[in-house]
Structure 1
Amino acid sequence: MIKKLALHALVLATVFSCGVKNQTNDLATDTPIMTSLDLVNIQDDKVNVVINPGRFIQDTVTYRLPRVVQGTYAVSDFGRYIENIKAFDYEGNAMPINQVDTNTWTFANAKNLDRIEYAVNDTFDQEEQGGIGDEVPFSPSGTNIEPKQVMLNLHGFVGYFDALKQNAYQIDIKSPSSFKYTSPLTEIKSTQSEDGAIKHSVFLANRYFEVTDNPMMYGETEVEEFMVGNIKIVLSVFSPNGVHKASEIKEIMAEMMQAQKQYLGDLNSTPRYDILLYLSDTQKPDSPKGFGALEHHTSTVVVLPEQMDPEALAESMIDVVAHEFFHIVTPLSVHSEDVHYFDYNNPTFSKHLWLYEGVTEYFAQHFQVYEGLIDPAEFYVRTTEKINTSRSNYDDAMSFTQMSENILEDPYKDNYANVYMKGALIGMCVDILMRENSDGQRSLRSLLGELSVKYGKDKPFEDDALITEITAMTYPAVGEFLNTHVVGNTPIDYGQMLDKVGLYFAEAEVETNYIQNAGELILSADPARGGVKFNDLVMNNSFWKDKGVQPNDFIKSINGTEVSLANANQILAEVYAWSSGKAIQVELLRGDGEILIDTTTTPTYTKAVTLLENPEATEAQKELRKAWLKG
């Protein structure tokens, strides 16, 4: 396989260096799609793209940008960001173009089509402007084009021809030589201009899926590398104001990912994993606001606020990257036909978001307690918060498989975020049942290992058959649970499930954060005044209560930034990440008066019903809990 790939790359490099078509075989079906992106001559935050597919033999061809990309479960319509599209024949003459819809163009007389050219506008700017249309792509799936940095989620720049979905792509990126870049794609050629100012880097993607699945960062980025077992980790960080250093983040990631690798054991399937971190300057209006991450099979793009404290950034990176890295198990190694043969413009969705996102989120939390990064009490609090959030914010009686299959439609799409709550809890329940029925010898991890061996990254499972297969591979109790609570619409009795491991729900004082009480928001929107106020629950939050805050106190500003409904989510995301010892200034309006809270944060607590270890648990319950939590 290695020799074959090397030979293929050599042939492509030779064809590229000649600068002309291979006259003996220039058919589009038999040659790579030659693609070029110009990062040198950027104007108005736009990149010029040229697509040269080779010679067509049919009369009409169709070219598309993705409507939906994998992992987002939302409509992005990347065709909205294409401008000034042109087509040329082999004589250099302009050809007519027919735009069928937002993401689709057809070209008549395709036998004469030589190339397509267009400009790509970035999506980060559109977040501030409200977007072109109804929705803007989630920031980690979006694109950024500016003099200092270009975020190349390639699905926003490069499309595909219906007739050439399995063709290879040769992607030539022209950039200033001063730009650093990272990419999981194979680089087959690199040259510089005579004056050394411009660099051409040529990458190979074996099919369009690899184009969309391998994001790149170009620009003033910092790059660090380290090994986790036999996996090479490449960390790329763009901090526009130099607030955070890649070398510092590397230490956090290395410790966490070593624990992940130990947790996974042999359950890994990639020699390299890339982390692309874009830190958003929240003081700039055109900076991205959609904080979080988008997984790819062997990489992740993360967008977080640059203004976060180092401790808060570390905690967020642990939670976010832990989740994304576990995607190397599913969907990379275990996925359905809907994932394997994904249609970017008319997608069908698997019934098993509980597996792809839910189990992944469960692993991201469970490994932390299993490997000693957090103590069981913290794990119990996080589990309780997921239970409370899933019950209070989402439809707890909705079939999870039905929701997954119809995730772009009402009323299902409003329940998508529940995959990170109830989906993770489904994973927890299956894990407990696996351990209970095997005397602690098998687990959800071992089940995924068995499924990985049976399928793997190149063999999808049949969507409708998965639960039957899992039941046959495990125990009747697992099948009954999945059919009742995942296929069916019966809410899960978590008290009954967690009693198996000697846990029960009782009121206790628990540590919380500065915008919630154990998952319940202590803030409410105030549309009349265009901002946010504290609600009655603030009286149960020890930090704010000790500072004299009262219900209906209106938040005027936080650390000098005026709070409005427009920027509340962004600012409160930063407040959520506050850690003890942070100097803060909060201006409140109460009646006709102003109140300034100028202080340093201390840990904050609330009284809440939470999971506790039952002092009357039996030895069997304690042993099962020990097997589950490794301690």
Structure 2
Amino acid sequence: MTSLRYDLSVRSRSQHLFAVTLTIPACDTDVLTLSLPAWIPGSYMVRDFARHIITLTAADNAGNVLPVTKTDKQTWQIKAGKQPVTVEYTVYAFDLSVRAAYLNDEYGFINGTSVFLQVNDLPAASCEVTVSLPESLSHWHVETSMQPDDTNGTHFICEDYAELIDHPVFMGECVLDSVTVQGVEFVFLFSGKTPVNTKRICEDMVPVCEHHLNLFGQPSPVDRYVFMTLLSESGFGGLEHRSSTALLYPRFDLPLEREGGGKTDQYVTFLSLCCHELFHTWHVKRLRPSVFLKPDLSAEVYTPQLWIYEGFTSFYDDVTLARTGLISPEKYLEIVGQNLTRLQLTAGRFKQSVAESSFDAWTKFYKQDASAPNNIVSYYVKGGIIAFGLDLLLRRKSQGNVSLDSLMQALWQQFGAEETGTPDDVIETVCRETFNIDVSEYLQAVVYGKEDVPLNQWLADIGVTLHTRPKNSASDRGGVPPLPAYQKHHLGAAIKNAETGVTVQVVFEDGAACRAGLQVNDRIIALDGYVVNDILLQRLLNQTGESALPLTVLRDGRLLTLSLPVLEERQEACYFTIEDKEKLAAWLATA
């Protein structure tokens, strides 16, 4: 069998350079064509990874230099003359994210799409990877979900290029632990030396892993899974792969070895992130839109289905924590209330459907500007609320015999297990043909239309009531009942404190700031003659009895005076109350 060999090594930690030697066997072509993907599956934006390739040379077996021609931003041609070829190249790696490659003094991390060149002339070739570390880094640990081909854990094999780029690679100092659930080993890796309480994390993740394995049934598509977490001072992210996930998380938002106590909100968010990415092992990596079965990684690949894949997963990442007892029903409803509040603050939900948001993810959702809340809707957030509503609707129409779980299992059996790919109308079709339930009117309204999800029609079935209220403060995320002191009047803008005054980050459509003529990057120096910060500005707004107040604004070197209308705070914060604990417990128990 034809095999490509990639030798990955550290060229310079201080300069953030990886070196790759690619050995290509002789093939029946005079000119070899090599390319690098422009985007990575799961992150729908063209990122042009090839811009980080710094040098590239080619030679034959005798060491003779071969001519290399770059034909576009991500493609090279080599005059090989049907001979074996060795390609050597360096990659700049300083993107601290889950999407590309990163190298510092502590560790190195790569996604294959940003480092491993594809040999277009050998699409079916198997791939071998060797991670070569210098003696000075012999203490570094190498981790990946690729199949090892040696006892040292530095040589790996993949069936083809598609598999090669779907296994991120970590090398460096780290904290490791693992747990086995239903015969599947789950490995937890945290970069660096932070004394993370891995035992607690493993214990907390056991019921999550059990939930997903039970939901989709045996056999599991993986026998070993790696949670590969890059710890940093700040930052957040997750990206799914076929047998692993790459995560980015603030190091001190996780429980440490000698800490006890309950779960902080930050730790709950981490568990939810892990739950989300693990769910993608079934629902994205194998069950996925038809256009993603063999995607063209050189250009955008469009689908209106991301609301299904990210939205449904966003529903399961939180409800799973409640089902397994990792969070209380009250905490779960608080989180859903926060998600609904985020949605209510987005006027873009009246302008863009989630199907359109999915299709335009490449240029709108992944390239948001300061006015994004006014113009687009998140297929993650609204998609999760759509999934919540769909579960309640299916239960109502089937007298409790069919749920979103039933739908997920049918989708897996019909499209995921054999990886056949889903059509755009898959949800409506499966509900009708498998369960004899018509959900077309619901989908037309909330997926393809721009209507809000009518949760109040069904919430009584699970013993819950939804409420809205004014925000308690500018930082209020919703999810909880009102406080005695709340915002009486709204600014209608997102702001942050500046050295003097506050800087406007977002101007919400048709709010007080919008009517006053405030713009993004304006600095509000004073309100009603008083120099303000974010807290004082709201205090002055709350206590005034005037219909308008003067704003002193600095805009691009000019001092302006604007008139800010005093408007009542909108009822945009959402929260739930539990009316029947037994009904809610029964709903959460039906996994």
How many residues were matched structurally?
504
C-alpha distance in 2 between matches for 1:263 and 1:467: 18
C-alpha distance in 2 between matches for 1:84 and 1:530: 48
DSSP-derived class of the 1:164 partner: coil
- Cα deviations across residues 266-316 of structure 1 (Å, max 9, x unaligned)? 585322211011111x3xxxxxx5412111122111111123362455323
Alpha-carbon deviation of 1:46? 0.7
Q: Which amino acid aligns with 1:553?
A: N
DSSP-derived class of the 2:450 partner: coil
What residue in structure 1 maps to residue 402 of structure 2? 442
What residue in structure 1 maps to residue 178 of structure 2? 225
Q: Is residue 2:444 matched to residue 1:491?
A: no
Going from structure 1 to structure 2, the CA distance change for 1:530 and 1:337 (only over 3 Å counts) comes to: farther
Of 446, 451, 474, which residue of structure 1 is paired with 2:411? 451
Going from structure 1 to structure 2, the CA distance change for 1:217 and 1:513 (only over 3 Å counts) comes to: farther
Whether the 8 Å CA contact 1:171–1:204 is kept in 2: the answer is yes
Of 88, 97, 120, which residue of structure 2 is paired with 1:162? 120
Q: Which amino acid aligns with 2:457?
A: Q
DSSP-derived class of the 1:477 partner: coil
C-alpha distance in 1 between matches for 2:347 and 2:87: 45
Alpha-carbon deviation of 1:330? 0.3
C-alpha distance in 2 between matches for 1:388 and 1:38: 47
Of 565, 588, 591, which residue of structure 2 is paired with 1:629? 588
- Cα deviations across residues 100-130 of structure 1 (Å, max 9, x unaligned)? 3332222245534612111111133xx6xxx
Whether the 8 Å CA contact 2:148–2:155 is kept in 1: the answer is yes
Q: Which amino acid aligns with 2:454?
A: D
What residue in structure 2 maps to residue 8 of structure 1? none
Going from structure 1 to structure 2, the CA distance change for 1:625 and 1:248 (only over 3 Å counts) comes to: closer
Of 345, 348, 368, which residue of structure 2 is paired with 1:392? 345
C-alpha distance in 1 between matches for 2:344 and 2:436: 28
Q: Is residue 2:307 matched to residue 1:307?
A: no
- Cα deviations across residues 557-594 of structure 1 (Å, max 9, x unaligned)? xxxxxxxxxxxxxxxxxxxxxxxxxxxxxxxxxxxxxx
Whether the 8 Å CA contact 1:504–1:614 is kept in 2: the answer is yes
Going from structure 1 to structure 2, the CA distance change for 1:492 and 1:102 (only over 3 Å counts) comes to: same
What residue in structure 2 maps to residue 74 of structure 1? 45
What residue in structure 1 maps to residue 429 of structure 2? 469
What residue in structure 2 maps to residue 22 of structure 1? none
What residue in structure 2 maps to residue 271 of structure 1? 223
DSSP-derived class of the 1:331 partner: coil
DSSP-derived class of the 2:344 partner: helix
- Name which of structure 1's ranges 399-408 and 73-82 shifts more when overlaid on structure 2: 399-408
Normalising by structure 2, we get a TM-score of 0.76
What residue in structure 2 maps to residue 21 of structure 1? none
Going from structure 1 to structure 2, the CA distance change for 1:625 and 1:435 (only over 3 Å counts) comes to: farther
DSSP-derived class of the 2:39 partner: coil
Whether the 8 Å CA contact 1:329–1:452 is kept in 2: the answer is yes
Alpha-carbon deviation of 1:452? 1.3
What residue in structure 2 maps to residue 430 of structure 1? 390
Superposed CA RMSD in Å reads 3.6
Q: Is residue 2:356 matched to residue 1:402?
A: yes
C-alpha distance in 2 between matches for 1:530 and 1:553: 5
C-alpha distance in 2 between matches for 1:607 and 1:399: 20
What residue in structure 1 maps to residue 106 of structure 2? 148
Normalising by structure 1, we get a TM-score of 0.72
Q: Which amino acid aligns with 1:402?
A: E
After TM superposition, where is structure 1 displaced by more than 6 Å over at least 4 residues in a row? 519-523, 530-535
DSSP-derived class of the 2:228 partner: strand
Q: Is residue 2:576 matched to residue 1:611?
A: yes
DSSP-derived class of the 2:396 partner: helix
Alpha-carbon deviation of 1:448? 1.3
User: Which of the two has greater helix per residue?
Assistant: 1
C-alpha distance in 2 between matches for 1:247 and 1:62: 48
What residue in structure 1 maps to residue 30 of structure 2? 59
List runs of 5+ in structure 2 lacking aligned partners.
256-263, 480-486, 507-529, 536-570
Q: Is residue 2:206 matched to residue 1:254?
A: yes
Alpha-carbon deviation of 1:369? 2.1
Q: Is residue 2:381 matched to residue 1:421?
A: yes
Q: Is residue 2:304 matched to residue 1:351?
A: yes
What residue in structure 2 maps to residue 103 of structure 1? 74
Give % identity. 22
DSSP-derived class of the 2:356 partner: helix
Going from structure 1 to structure 2, the CA distance change for 1:524 and 1:486 (only over 3 Å counts) comes to: same
What residue in structure 1 maps to residue 290 of structure 2? 337
- Cα deviations across residues 387-434 of structure 1 (Å, max 9, x unaligned)? 221232362132322322232134885478712210111111111122
C-alpha distance in 1 between matches for 2:192 and 2:347: 35
Going from structure 1 to structure 2, the CA distance change for 1:454 and 1:110 (only over 3 Å counts) comes to: farther
Q: Which amino acid aligns with 1:225?
A: S
List runs of 5+ in structure 1 lacking aligned partners.
1-29, 128-138, 192-199, 283-288, 536-549, 556-605, 616-621
C-alpha distance in 1 between matches for 2:200 and 2:474: 26
Q: Is residue 2:132 matched to residue 1:174?
A: yes
DSSP-derived class of the 1:235 partner: strand
DSSP-derived class of the 1:384 partner: helix
Alpha-carbon deviation of 1:328? 2.1
Whether the 8 Å CA contact 1:507–1:607 is kept in 2: the answer is yes
DSSP-derived class of the 2:378 partner: helix
Whether the 8 Å CA contact 2:187–2:227 is kept in 1: the answer is yes
Going from structure 1 to structure 2, the CA distance change for 1:260 and 1:451 (only over 3 Å counts) comes to: closer
Q: Is residue 2:20 matched to residue 1:49?
A: yes
Whether the 8 Å CA contact 1:81–1:121 is kept in 2: the answer is yes
Of 108, 111, 118, which residue of structure 1 is paired with 2:89? 118
